[in-house]
């Protein structure tokens, strides 16, 4: 086992954990989405560039296999389109997501800013740091903190995250890019907020 890879994995796990803790307990900017861009995108990028001394492209910051990415995005969104209209109208989802449509900035942009950093942390930084040593288990392992990060959201959503997070991890690994899981996540979240707010009246 390569000691350098062990050191990088340790660093990635610690940095990912600490950024999640800081995000939970502190508000740095007026918008939470900006906090997550700093903590979940900015901090890992600094670690990759200044500590690992590697290209961010190695951690999924690239288009990757865009043909496979677009197909997987279309298939994923098509499948979820059968589920989201029903789930988004349940009480727990209405109560949690409907208020988000009243964001101080355009709510699709707010969601995009929030999820871009979020996806890079799990499906970029953590996944591709773990994969050289953990192999395919990295796809499942990155979904564990992703699931825990959903505590406080609707229970059904949190329960599904170990599966959805693993699916996102597979897509990132398959395409070598976190962009497609981000796109899927953004489309699903946007649809959920829109449907939940319309159901709430």
pLDDT band at 200 (very low <50, low <70, confident <90, very high): confident
Domain parsing of the chain, residue ranges: 3-200
**Among 28, 23, 18, 47, which Cα is nearest to 125's?**
47
pLDDT at 96 over 90: yes
**How far apart are alpha carbons 181 and 170 in whole angstroms?**
9
**How far apart are alpha carbons 143 and 153 in whole angstroms?**
16
Q: For 30-89, how does the pLDDT look when each residue is reduced to its tens digit (9 = 90+)? A: 889 999 999 999 999 999 999 999 999 999 999 999 999 999 999 999 999 999 999 999
Which one-letter DSSP state was computed for residue 153?
A: B
pLDDT band at 5 (very low <50, low <70, confident <90, very high): low
What percent of the chain is predicted at pLDDT more than 90? 93
**How far apart are alpha carbons 183 and 125 in whole angstroms?**
17
């Amino acid at each position: 086992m390569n000691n350098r890879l062990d050191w990088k994995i340790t660093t990635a796990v610690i940095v990912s954990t600490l950024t999640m803790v800081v995000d939970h307990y502190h508000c740095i900017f007026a918008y939470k989405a900006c906090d997550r861009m700093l903590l979940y995108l900015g901090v890992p990028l600094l670690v990759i560039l200044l500590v690992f001394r590697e290209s961010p492209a190695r951690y999924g910051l690239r288009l990757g296999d865009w043909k496979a990415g677009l197909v997987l995005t279309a298939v994923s969104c098509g499948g979820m389109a059968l589920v989201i209209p029903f789930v988004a109208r349940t009480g727990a989802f209405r109560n949690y997501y409907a208020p988000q449509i009243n964001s101080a900035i355009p709510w699709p942009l707010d969601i995009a800013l929030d999820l871009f950093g979020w996806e890079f942390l799990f499906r970029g930084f953590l996944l591709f740091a773990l994969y050289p040593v953990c192999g395919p288990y990295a796809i499942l392992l990155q979904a564990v903190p992703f699931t825990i990060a959903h505590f406080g959201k609707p229970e059904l959503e949190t329960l599904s995250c170990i599966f959805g997070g693993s699916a996102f991890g597979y897509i990132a690994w398959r395409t070598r890019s976190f962009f497609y899981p981000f796109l899927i996540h953004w489309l699903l979240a946007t649809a959920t907020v829109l449907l939940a707010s319309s159901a709430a009246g």
